[in-house]
Structure 1
Amino acid sequence: MLLFTTSYNIVIPEMNAFLTDLGSPGLKGLIIGLFTISAGFTRPFSGKLSDIIGRKKVMLVGLLISVVVCSLYSFAFAAWFLLLLRFLHGFSVGFYPTGATALITDILPEDKRGFGMGLWGTFISIGMGLGQGLSSFIVETGNRDALFFTAALFTALSYILFFNVRETLSKTHKFQLSHLRIKSDEIIEPNVIPVAIVMFLSAMCSGIILVLSPDISDHLHIGNKGAFFIFYVMATILIRLVTGKVSDTYGRRETLAVGMIILCISMILIGLSETETWYYIASIIFGVATGIISPTIFAWTADLSPPNRRGRGTGTMFIALEFGILSGALSTNLWYQNNLASIWNVFLFGAGMALICVIYLIWHIKTKKAKH
């Protein structure tokens, strides 16, 4: 998962500049938006299939799509072609993490899910930070073609290690076209809706950051466009190692409420950042928030998903993730309009979404009986 996460994150910091070079700077929000649309659309299918044909086969589909698309980025000759590739790339993320997370859920003991998901999430975060941090360095020392080749190489390495993974679904079936018929009750796992609401609201903040961090780096004259994510990842790894068992002890919702308050603070600080130092401090606080929120959301999803519908439960959580990122990206595209003066309004909106999530969690704690 670390290698796969690195492969699709490594291209993100250079995408805004690539799209600008192709003559369409006003479409920056679609770089993330189209990616998340296809990933979100894929989740009901990948969630259902992982419960039928097996976790590993669903993961394999994601790997194959990723290596093909990463290899094709170098041939993007127009903005529409680049955006098409971004759309297709989202299918890989719609498949691979869904199957992988369902597989992880199968093998984790119930009383150690918070700790286990914290470890799992740590490697995802390392992949994000490694990819974002290496991006500008590779382009500066080589070129964009070298960047896209490196992305394909990371996917290929993940593919090699994939064969050491053991299938955890006890009874698998051969794929049939009928499996692609999605019924209404197969799109969303109702038990996971509370998690999905929290994931959606928190992911909106991530969507904003993914779109704006490269431009903020340019504005603050930071050479490495992925520097934000380097500090973010260091903080999130440290906090996961320290607080991995917190939600197992004190409860998922209580832990999430604390994380969302910190997320709200981080969005305000990022929007107010006028110096490189403050920008990095804000990224560290954002990393602390994510280090608390992410593993707790994964663990809560595992708590609420019925054993025979873990793939669908995981898919529901990821659908909320993708549409949260999409909403954040499209909101940014609507307000930002390539105008740095509007950045504060965008981040204030993100802080508002985090605050709404805190209110929802407090309400849920007071009115709903907890499962864990």
Structure 2
Amino acid sequence: MQKEKLWTKDFISVSLVNFVMMLSMYLLIVTMASYATDAYDASTSMAGLASSIFIIGVLFARLYGGKEVARIGSKRMLIGGILFFVVITALYLIPSNIYVLLVVRFLHGIGIGFASTATGTIVAQVVPASRKGEGISYFSLSVILSTAIGPLIGLPMISQYGYESMFIFSLIVGMLCLPIALIVKEPVVDSSAADARSRGFNLAKYLEPNALPVSIVMFVIALAYSGTLSFIASFAKEADLTEAGSMYFFVYAMAVLFSRPFTGKLMDAKGANFVAYPAMMAFALGMFTLSQANSGAVFLLAAALIGLGYGNFQSVAQTVAIKMTPPHRMGLATSTFFIMMDIGIGVGPFLLGYMVPDYGYRGLYLAMVPLIIAGVFIYYTLHGKKEKRLTQSA
């Protein structure tokens, strides 16, 4: 039996748009706190807010965008989101003050939130059902690669040419999204059932109930991961592992890059549980290894394990959220999944930061191991046992 085609023009185009868009975002997100401190003499808390308020903007857009994408159209939302965030990116070049910067960051998050909700919706609709796990795995590599390439480009650029050069480069990269997005053909989806819950307030207008169980698990796992995303540079400096620290996200991305094609195919063939449980255990082992790292080799081994674990669980969970949802609500399922993931990554640094003065970074990472193990049991309770029945009946 011939496989349904995955690498279509639309799949390649929307994946490329997502990569370029995320690259533009990650060029800024890893350096915004230091920019706020250097340019506006912001306090540590205000600098942290300058970085995290972006996530609030993203969440705001996802709540509205997920509800309205079926009505507005995914391509129209994508083009509008790109135009909006490109205009907002240009505002970074205008000298202002810390409060204006906070507003710009919030608005930037709104633009990215709308555009990324659209790309997630389009890819969910263009990937064949029989290759959903494989397709989502490849698509989500666009985010993983941008998290590695963004810091690798942005940090040296700031060191050599200053913050303004980074803003200009981010603006140019963002503008490249538009011509690529214009060639994407919007999938035709039967939305006749989309208005069934449209009158009055209903939580299902903002969150997809079928996608919520696995999205709750993603919140727990993302909360644990946020400690590395925010504090890894500080931990590497404290542990005198600065050189290894500069390679952390590169090794993380390579582990994901080389494993995703296999894990996506395994999920389609064997079911989500076949990948989800080993991925969460690899993530827990990676966090334990990180907490004990006293050499560059062990530090980077932890990065690889975390990439294999968190990086692959993220794509599994996203695929499950989409597979459990009818086609006309895939946009809402996509936004529900990313809302929960973004909340975990957004509130994590704020909550986990309170542990550092008393327990240090090693204690923080060690404490994430039981949190991830708890995530395993939550996954089994909310989805894993159901997934087993679905796989057996398939």
- TM-score by shorter chain over 0.5: yes
The 3-state SS of whatever aligns with 1:155 is: helix
Structure-2 separation of matches of 1:228 and 1:341: 22
TM-score when normalising by structure 2: 0.84
1:3 and 2:20 matched:
yes
The correspondence for 2:364, drawn from 334, 346, 352, is: 346
Q: Name the CA shift for 1:147/1:361 in 2 (closer, same or farther; >3 Å).
A: same
* 1:183 CA displacement: 3.9
The 3-state SS of whatever aligns with 2:355 is: helix
* 1:233 CA displacement: 0.7
Which string of whole-angstrom CA distances, capped at 9 and with x for unpartnered residues, describes residues 125-144 of structure 1?
11221112111121122111
The correspondence for 1:289, drawn from 309, 312, 332, is: 309
Given residue 360 of structure 2, which amino acid in structure 1 is its aligned partner?
S
Preserved contact between residue 266 and residue 286 of structure 1 (Cα < 8 Å): yes
Structure-1 separation of matches of 2:35 and 2:80: 27
Identity of aligned residues (%): 23
* 1:99 CA displacement: 1.0
1:17 and 2:37 matched:
no
Structure 2 unaligned spans of 5+: 1-17, 193-197
Given residue 136 of structure 1, which amino acid in structure 2 is its aligned partner?
L
* 1:28 CA displacement: 4.9
Q: Which of the pair has more CA radius of gyration?
A: 2
Q: For residue 116 of structure 1, what is the aligned residue in structure 2?
A: 135
Structure 1 unaligned spans of 5+: 174-178
Structure-1 separation of matches of 2:138 and 2:213: 23
Which string of whole-angstrom CA distances, capped at 9 and with x for unpartnered residues, describes residues 292-325 of structure 1?
2122122111211111211111111111111111
Preserved contact between residue 3 and residue 158 of structure 1 (Cα < 8 Å): yes
Preserved contact between residue 9 and residue 127 of structure 1 (Cα < 8 Å): yes
* 1:66 CA displacement: 2.2
Q: How does 1:191-340 map to 2 (within 5 A)?
A: 191-219=210-238, 220=240, 222=242, 227-336=247-356
* 1:370 CA displacement: 4.4
1:63 and 2:58 matched:
no
Comparing 342-351 with 43-52, greater Cα deviation is found at 342-351
* 1:239 CA displacement: 0.8
* 1:103 CA displacement: 0.7
Q: Name the CA shift for 1:36/1:171 in 2 (closer, same or farther; >3 Å).
A: same
Q: For residue 103 of structure 2, what is the aligned residue in structure 1?
A: 84
Structure-2 separation of matches of 1:199 and 1:20: 32
Q: Name the CA shift for 1:330/1:109 in 2 (closer, same or farther; >3 Å).
A: same
* 1:75 CA displacement: 3.7
The 3-state SS of whatever aligns with 1:10 is: helix
* 1:50 CA displacement: 1.4
Q: Name the CA shift for 1:197/1:341 in 2 (closer, same or farther; >3 Å).
A: closer
Q: For residue 176 of structure 1, what is the aligned residue in structure 2?
A: none
Preserved contact between residue 270 and residue 282 of structure 1 (Cα < 8 Å): yes
Q: Name the CA shift for 1:102/1:194 in 2 (closer, same or farther; >3 Å).
A: same
Structure-2 separation of matches of 1:180 and 1:7: 38
The 3-state SS of whatever aligns with 2:242 is: coil
Q: Name the CA shift for 1:19/1:185 in 2 (closer, same or farther; >3 Å).
A: same
Comparing 149-158 with 348-357, greater Cα deviation is found at 348-357
Q: Name the CA shift for 1:29/1:201 in 2 (closer, same or farther; >3 Å).
A: farther
- For the aligned residues, what is the CA RMSD? 2.6
* 1:15 CA displacement: 2.3
Structure-1 separation of matches of 2:118 and 2:328: 14
Structure-2 separation of matches of 1:146 and 1:306: 45
* 1:369 CA displacement: 6.1
Structure-2 separation of matches of 1:155 and 1:319: 23
